[in-house]
Structure 1
Amino acid sequence: MRHRTTAVFVLLSAIWGTAFVATEVGLDSLPPTLFAAVRFDVAAAVLFGLALVRSDRLRPTARAEWVPILAGGVLNIGVHHAFLFSGQVYVDGAVAAVLLGLIPVITPALTRLTASRERLSPVGAVGVLIGFVGVVVIANPDPANLVDSNLVGVALVLASAVAFALGAVVTHDADSTLPFVSTQAWMMLVGAVVLHATSAALPWESVAAAEWTPAAVASLLYLAVVAGAGGFFMYFWLLDHVGPVEVSLLEYVIPVFAAVVGWQVRGTGLDATTVAGFAIIFVGFALVKRADIRREWGRLRGVEENAVRDAD
Structure 2
Amino acid sequence: MTLTQEPTTARTGMLATGAALITVVLWASAFVAIRHVGHEFSAGALSLGRLLVGSAILGAFLLIRRPSSATSVLQRRPLKRDWAPLLACGLLWFGVYNVALNAAEQRLDAGTAAMLVNIGPLLIALLAGVLLKEGFPRQLVIGSAVAFAGVLLIGTSSSTGRAETWGVILCIIAAIAYAIGVVAQKPLLGRLPALQVTWLACTIGAVACLPFAPALVREASAAKASSIWWVIFLGAFPTALAFTTWAYALARTSAGRMGATTYLVPPIAIAFAWLLLDEVPAPLAFVGGALCLAGVALSRQKKA
Aligned pairs for 1:1-312 within 5 A: 1-54=12-65, 55=67, 56-57=72-73, 60=77, 62-114=79-131, 116-139=132-155, 140-142=157-159, 144-145=161-162, 149-174=163-188, 177-197=191-211, 199=212, 207-210=217-220, 211-291=222-302
The match for 1:300 is none
Question: Secondary structure, in 3 states, of the residue corresponding to 1:242?
Answer: coil
The match for 1:304 is none
Contact 2:41 2:216 in 1 (8 A): no
Larger Rg: 1
User: Residue by residue, what CA displacement relative to the aligned partner does 1:241-282 show, whole Å, maximum 9, x if unpaired?
Assistant: 112111112331011211111111111103422211122112
Q: Quote the Cα distance in structure 2 between the aligned partners of 1:250 and 1:289.
A: 8
Q: Quote the Cα distance in structure 1 between the aligned partners of 2:194 and 2:17.
A: 20
Normalised to the residue count of structure 2, the TM-score between the two structures is: 0.84
Residue 175 of structure 1 deviates from its aligned partner by: 6.9
Unaligned runs of 5+ in 1: 296-312
% same residue: 22
Q: Quote the Cα distance in structure 2 between the aligned partners of 1:144 and 1:24.
A: 19
Contact 2:28 2:268 in 1 (8 A): yes
Question: Secondary structure, in 3 states, of the residue corresponding to 2:302?
Answer: helix
Q: Quote the Cα distance in structure 2 between the aligned partners of 1:125 and 1:11.
A: 24
The match for 2:7 is none
Q: Which amino acid aligns with 1:134?
A: G
Q: Quote the Cα distance in structure 1 between the aligned partners of 2:190 and 2:144.
A: 30
Q: 1:248 to 1:178 in 2, by over 3 A?
A: closer
Q: 1:196 to 1:160 in 2, by over 3 A?
A: same
The match for 1:309 is none
Q: Quote the Cα distance in structure 2 between the aligned partners of 1:291 and 1:176.
A: 21
Normalised to the residue count of structure 1, the TM-score between the two structures is: 0.82
Contact 2:158 2:285 in 1 (8 A): no
Q: Quote the Cα distance in structure 2 between the aligned partners of 1:143 and 1:225.
A: 32
Q: Quote the Cα distance in structure 2 between the aligned partners of 1:247 and 1:270.
A: 26
Contact 1:137 1:274 in 2 (8 A): yes
Q: Which amino acid aligns with 2:96?
A: V
Unaligned runs of 5+ in 2: 1-11
Contact 2:95 2:206 in 1 (8 A): yes
Residue 171 of structure 1 deviates from its aligned partner by: 1.4
Q: Quote the Cα distance in structure 2 between the aligned partners of 1:285 and 1:163.
A: 22
Q: What is the aligned length?
A: 285
Question: Secondary structure, in 3 states, of the residue corresponding to 2:135?
Answer: coil
Q: Quote the Cα distance in structure 1 between the aligned partners of 2:104 and 2:36.
A: 19
Q: Which amino acid aligns with 1:245?
A: G
